[in-house]
Amino acid sequence: MNKSGAIGLFDSGIGGLTVSKVINTILPEEATIYFGDTAHVPYGQRSADELLGFADKIVSFLAGQGVKYIFFACNTSSALSLSVLSSRYPLPMIGLIKPGVAEVLRLTRNKKVGVIATEATVRSGAYENELKKRDSSIKVYSQAAPRLVPLIEAGELDSPAAVEAVNQYLCPLREAGIDTLVFGCTHYPFLAGLIADVMGPGVQLVDPAGATVRQAAAEMAGLGLLATGGSSPPVHRFFVSGEPQAFREQARRFLGKDVGPVTRAEL
Ligand code: DGL
């Protein structure tokens, strides 16, 4: 592990790009290696064992690429696989849930908090347990939103089906009177505009990526792992387990620039 290595990050698909974007903004000198497990997306309905198996292979792949730090840019893997894998590999790692919870607790005033996430994340209780551990008076309203990831992966960000699904999942949370809603899945910031319209101006939307990248930056600084910056710009490489060209196109649309060649890697 040394500071000239890249940061590794992974997700089931394009969701982790919402984290890449924040890494590139807060840590512009850092090279990154992204792994999208697009052969297995969506993760949300899979079992804990299956998810641990995928995450283990991805972490092993990233470690083999010499990364110095790993972001679980996927809440489902953060909830179900991070604690096991962080003791299995000698690499510093971070997930989204603890930093996301800290941000929610900083922002909520009425202590009624909504969590939208995949079925696996909701079932794990990861957000709810962490929120209640840190403040037992918090009321948590969790909503699994299984239709959203397939819509986002298909590029349906404002289709009638997307509008209908967002309304279906979020109206009950709005009715419950939450003042803060956390995006418990890295795909959901793709729908931030639609979600903001449904929730209205009284509800703060929390994307855990910002707090996560800030915490990781502090940890990396403490470990002497921050890139010092060179004359050439950092390189960002992308690997997927599925179709590379489709991912390249989705990434180009979201990031507003071509990410260059995307490489298929078998897990
Ligand atoms: N983006 C992921 C998450 O944050 C996974 C979503 C999925 O594949 O179902 O949970």
241 in any annotated domain: yes
pLDDT score at 232 = 85
Examine the pLDDT at 30 and tell me if it is beyond 80: yes
Known catalytic residue at 185: yes
Q: Is residue 135 located within the same domain as residue 260?
A: no
Q: Is residue 51 located within the same domain as residue 31?
A: yes
Q: Is residue 50 located within the same domain as residue 152?
A: no
Examine the pLDDT at 219 and tell me if it is beyond 80: yes
228 in any annotated domain: yes
Least confident of 82-96, 203-217, 229-243: 229-243
Tell me how far CA of residue 151 lies from CA of 174, 181, 184, in angstroms: 22, 20, 16
Q: Is residue 46 located within the same domain as residue 128?
A: no
Q: Is residue 162 located within the same domain as residue 227?
A: no
Residue with tokens 């969590």: 115
43 in any annotated domain: yes
Q: What is the pLDDT of residues 33-51, one digit of tens each?
A: 999 999 999 999 999 999 9
Measured from the CB, is residue 44 less than 6 Å from ligand 1?
yes
Distance 152 CA to ligand 1 centre (A): 11
117 backbone φψ class: left, alpha, beta (φ>0; ψ -120 to 50) = beta
pLDDT score at 36 = 98
Question: Ligand 1 test: best mutation among 187, 188, 206, 240, most atoms within 8 Å of CB?
Answer: 187
Q: What is the DSSP letter of 260?
A: -
Q: In the beta sheet, which residues pair with residue 180?
A: 113, 204
Distance 232 CA to ligand 1 centre (A): 33
Q: What is the DSSP letter of 190?
A: G
Measured from the CB, is residue 118 less than 6 Å from ligand 1?
yes
**Which CATH number belongs to the domain containing residue 170 in this structure?**
3.40.50.1860
Q: Is residue 153 located within the same domain as residue 28?
A: no
User: pTM for this structure?
Assistant: 0.97
Q: What is the pLDDT of residues 226-249, one digit of tens each?
A: 998 777 899 999 999 999 999 999
| pLDDT confidence bin for 1, thresholds 50/70/90 | confident
- Residues, the chain: 267
1 in any annotated domain: no
Tell me how many domains the chain contains. Answer: 2
Examine the pLDDT at 167 and tell me if it is beyond 90: yes
Q: Is residue 198 located within the same domain as residue 215?
A: no
Q: Is residue 75 located within the same domain as residue 156?
A: no
How many percent of the chain have pLDDT more than 70? 100
pLDDT score at 238 = 98
Containing domain of residue 77, as a range?
7-95+210-264
Contacting residues for 53 by C-beta, under 8 A, at least 6 apart = none
Measured from the CB, is residue 19 less than 6 Å from ligand 1?
no
Mean pLDDT over the full length of the chain: 96
Residue with tokens 């590794």: 8
User: How many C-beta atoms lie closer than 10 Å to residue 47's C-beta?
Assistant: 10
Measured from the CB, is residue 142 less than 6 Å from ligand 1?
no
Distance 240 CA to ligand 1 centre (A): 15
2 in any annotated domain: no
Q: Is residue 84 located within the same domain as residue 216?
A: yes
pLDDT score at 254 = 86
Measured from the CB, is residue 151 less than 6 Å from ligand 1?
no
Q: Which residue, 208, 225, 240, sits at the end of a domain?
A: 208
What is the Cα 242 distance to its own chain's centre?
A: 19
Distance 96 CA to ligand 1 centre (A): 12
Q: Is residue 75 located within the same domain as residue 31?
A: yes
How many percent of the chain have pLDDT more than 90? 94
Q: Which residue, 184, 208, 232, sits at the end of a domain?
A: 208
12 in any annotated domain: yes
Tell me how far CA of residue 181 lies from CA of 8, 113, 137, 160, 199, in angstroms: 28, 6, 17, 23, 9
Known catalytic residue at 171: no
Average pLDDT estimate for 160-178: 98
56 in any annotated domain: yes
Examine the pLDDT at 122 and tell me if it is beyond 90: yes
User: How many C-beta atoms lie closer than 10 Å to residue 109's C-beta?
Assistant: 8
Least confident of 4-18, 94-108, 249-263: 249-263
Q: In the beta sheet, which residues pair with residue 205?
A: 181
Q: Is residue 86 located within the same domain as residue 119?
A: no
Q: What is the DSSP letter of 76?
A: H
